Amino acid sequence: MLGSLICLLFLGAAKESTADTASAVHSEQIQTAPPKVRKPIWRVLLTFGTINALNGLGIGMVGPLMAYWFHLRFGVGPAAIGGAMALAFVSAAFMSLIGLHLIQRFGLVGTVLRMRLLGLALLLALPFAPFFWVAMLLFIARAALNQGSIGSRQALFLGLVDKSQRGLAATVNSLSVQAPRSIGPTITALFFQAEMLVTPFLIAGALQGLYLYFFQRFFSRAEDHDQSA
């Protein structure tokens, strides 16, 4: 989060040359970046940053303390948990490659929504898993779906701004996730202390469900503007 803030300050203080600005105006834009949406840059960044904050808080509610949750829920040690975490990251890498093929069929928005909705269903099922191996399979599949769609989500957001502003947009994208994410573990720790091991998942699921709803509305509206332009 601190790194994102520092980058934001540097980007705000940076001066762009006239040549760079002129070339950026004529640069090719992603299809989801209609002119009417690209003009009010701070409005676009603020709107999407607010939507993204729901996702960040939802991630922070469960992600950072998953290893501890596995220990509390099933009494397993670092060896079993660490191996499963490694598989989750490897699976996410493969899912990113699969996502490239899904984009050709469903488009960027359709691919992100399908992957994240399935990941949301797995998140809600995870705390009710009766055995450790079932919970781990759900966790690995969910991590692959969520993290495998990161590239597509970033491409969508960066396509809403001109090329010269994509550094700023990337910083806002990161900051809007990391800042709320840093709050999540504190909230979840209070639930764990009260021996409420399911509640954080339900709250995180609600937050990510809201995020997907507003995400779909945000980019569907952008596509509608693009078709009418």
Give 16-72 pLDDT, tens digit per residue: 433 344 334 333 444 444 444 445 788 888 888 999 999 999 999 999 999 999 999
As a whole number, mean pLDDT of residues 116-122 equals: 96
**Which tokens go with 172?**
């806002």
Integer CA distances (angstroms), 205 to 49, 57, 210, in order:
19, 10, 9
User: What percentage of the chain has pLDDT greater than the value 90?
Assistant: 44
Q: Which of 157-161, 209-213, 224-228 has the lowest mean pLDDT?
A: 224-228
Instruction: Dig out the tokens for 205 from the structure.
Output: 């699921």
Query: For residue 9, which amino acid is it?
Result: L
CB atoms within 10 A of CB 130: 8
Out of 31-40, 99-108, 140-149, pick the least confident: 31-40
CATH architecture designation of domain 37-228: Up-down Bundle (1.20)
Would you kindly state where each structural domain of the chain is located, as residue ranges?
A: 37-228
Q: Is 130's pLDDT higher than 50?
A: yes
- pLDDT for res 225: 52
Q: How far is CA 62 from CA 7, 199, 204, in A?
A: 27, 10, 7
- Interval 165-219: pLDDT, tens: 888 888 888 899 999 999 999 999 999 999 999 999 999 999 999 999 999 998 8
Question: Looking at 39-43, 57-61, 124-128, 221-225, which range is the least confident one?
Answer: 221-225
73 has pLDDT over 90? yes
DSSP assignment string, 128-155: G-SSHHHHHHHHHHHHHHHHHTHHHHHH
What is the reported pLDDT for 196? Answer: 96
In angstroms, the CA 62 to CA 130 distance is 18
Task: Categorize the per-residue pLDDT at 74 as very low, low, confident or very high, splitting at 50, 70 and 90.
Answer: very high
Instruction: Tell me what the pLDDT averaged over the chain comes to.
Output: 81
pLDDT at 2: 52
Which has more confidence, 163 or 11? 163
Q: How confident is the model at residue 100 (pLDDT cuts 50, 70, 90)?
A: confident
